[in-house]
Chain A
Amino acid sequence: MIPRGIRALLAAVALFAPWAVPAATITATVADDQGRPLADAVVTISPEPGTGTPSPDGEASTPISVTIDQKSEIFVPAVVALRAGGSAMFRDSDNIRHHVYSFSPVRRFEMVQTPGETSAPIVFPQPGVVAIGCNIHDHMSAYIFVTAAPWSKVTGANGQAVLTGLPAGRFVATVWHPRLRPRAEPPVQNLSLATENSSISVTLPVLPPRRPRARDY
């Protein structure tokens, strides 16, 4: 499961859509290739280089600090976006230990967590995908999408991510998903925005969810 995240990064830029944005809010709707809403897709928006669109200072919406919980041997949330230089904390809400680790070149770390424990913040300086696993429970997986983009949001169960607080200007949007098909043609979408609230919709070709393997823990 972990190589998938890294592999998906290689084909990560799913959408380049330069457009003028007079809007304050963008609603991104992401669907899989069967048209079903796709949760856990990371939508990022950053100023298009060379257009004079300023990078925001204070109002950027990509989190600089996230907490990933572990409940019933599941990482919650399973996918987070994090500003490069930001930090993540891990919490163990189970009453057993977990052994959180990453061998992603972007950020390698490992730590044992005891029941109830919240870790110290782990800093992620470089953009990239960090696949997180648990060395005890191989079925547990999470992804930290570390990005320089000032705005980013992860889609919910309805496949939507609402990005707010954008100034006027031209932007580039990307969409990434842990199960993005390698070698898939990234969909490109151009937008003309007429109203303050605008929307984009993206179809991502994704692999089916991984089926469980025999448990050996």
Chain B
Amino acid sequence: MLTARRIAWLCLGLAALSPAPAAAVDGNIGGLDINLSGLAEFRFVAPSRESGHTAGGLGKTSWGQERGFPVVPDFGPLILRGSIGFTPDLRFVTNLRVDPKQKTAVDMLDAYIRYRPVSTSRWRWTLRAGAFFPPISLENTGIGWTPEWTLTPSAINSWVGQELRVLGGEATLEWRGERDRIEAVVAAYGWNEPAGAAIDGYGWSFSQHPVGLFGHVRLPNVDDPLGPRVYSYQFRQFDHSVGYYAGLAWERPDIGRVALLRYDNQGDPNAHDSTEFGWRTMFWSLALSTEIGPVTVLAQGMVGSTTISTAINETSRTDFWSYYVLAGIERGPWRFAVRFDQFAIRENVADAGIGGDERGVAATAAVTWTPRKGISLTGEVVAIESTRSQRQLLGRSPRATEIQAQVALRLWF
């Protein structure tokens, strides 16, 4: 307790004393608009007592017991964002994530070209091409897939950050009415066939570790706890199918926003390369945001499945669903948020045995203090109760209650 209090004071002191961070760098060099900005995070974490998925365990939190201390300091990530405007219509954007715990210390979360000609009519269209996140999250509005209200994203958006990336093209058409705004989006992509391996491998998680284009997710060592580490690389192409998503969103200032999206990577479950198998992953996502008095409410639900071939003419389908509801309120330099998540996975495996069925709930509470622009201090507690049958393979109870607390200093520059 004393330690936690000391750490809290240390963080407060750091926030109060740290110099005003340098502003983002903007400049026009040789006719190109250059913008460089970033985010640096430093935290103290009281990890969960389970071993986390990044350490090959079946815990649900970003930080698990593997380091063996009740409170651990952690630097990172450092997000570096660069954007280049070639013309007013054409831009290149990338977010680099620097974190020694990744496969490569510097990885690229996204990198894409945006083409958006100006329109003085009600219609406007935008094209994106490259590698980018599908437009699913209402939470992760910060740079480098960081959430706005909490430190830890919901189960849904943790998963999106780990396994989904669009390597392809996307077209958005907007209609901007007097009050209403409607957006239609379609995309075609490849290089995401293994997406599904992680949600099948360790299930839903609450992770602050989105995976970059050169990264991988670690799969749990359930079959052979002492065996070599098993990784899955999400951004690979080895069948000839083209994945797609299509979405519609409607927005009105006095009501809010509703967005529906259908995603299907059209992966071939029988395809594989030297290390990865094809996962046919599809889902529906419905997202809502609104303001109720001073309270911002975000809600999102996702239901889908991923299918892998286990033998000739035999497939295994894993069904997953989750939803969350987040309520946030801002009062001067303070921001408060609570979120409730519920999640479940059901494996439809032909052969008997312990599968990856799971169900669980999570409650997250976060308080953010922003003494001035560019600096914030967030305290967050995530409590997750889950049942995952696979834990029995590690000799543990299928049921686990995890609590992860952290205080994070964030500096935007």
Q: Which A residues are within 8 Å of any B CB, using their own CB?
A: 2-4, 6-7, 10, 34, 72, 94-97, 99, 101-103, 108-110, 112, 114-115, 135-136, 179, 181-183, 207-208, 210-217
Contacts and interface: CB of A to CB of B under 8 A. Distances in A.
Is chain B's interface secondary structure helix, strand, loop, or mixed overall? Answer: loop
Contacts of B33: 96-97, 136
Contact of A136 (B27, B91, B128, B176): B91
B120 A108 contact: yes
Is chain A's interface secondary structure helix, strand, loop, or mixed overall? Answer: loop
A110 B294 CA distance: 35
Interface size band for B: 35 or more
A59 B180 CA distance: 40
Interface stretch (B11-19, B101-109, B136-144, B305-313): B136-144
A96 B181 contact: no
Interface in B93-132: 93, 114, 116, 118-122, 128
30 contacts: A3-B176, A3-B178, A3-B253, A4-B253, A6-B179, A7-B253, A10-B178, A34-B294, A96-B28, A96-B35, A97-B33, A101-B118, A101-B119, A101-B120, A103-B176, A108-B121, A135-B116, A136-B88, A179-B253, A183-B254, A207-B291, A208-B291, A211-B141, A214-B137, A214-B142, A215-B143, A216-B93, A216-B128, A217-B35, A217-B114
Contacts of A99: 88, 118
Interface of B: 23, 26-28, 33-35, 83, 85, 88-89, 91, 93, 114, 116, 118-122, 128, 135, 137, 140-143, 148, 176-181, 253-254, 291, 294, 296
Given A97-B33, A101-B120, A103-B176, A136 B85 contact: yes
Nearest to B33: A96
The residue in A3, A4, A110, A212 that gathers the most chain B C-beta atoms within 10 A of its C-beta is: A3
A47 B6 CA distance: 66
Contact of B178 (A7, A95, A136): A7
Task: Give 5 nearest A-B pairs by CB, closest first.
Answer: A7-B179, A108-B120, A96-B33, A135-B118, A99-B88
Nearest to B118: A135
B254 to A, nearest CB: 5
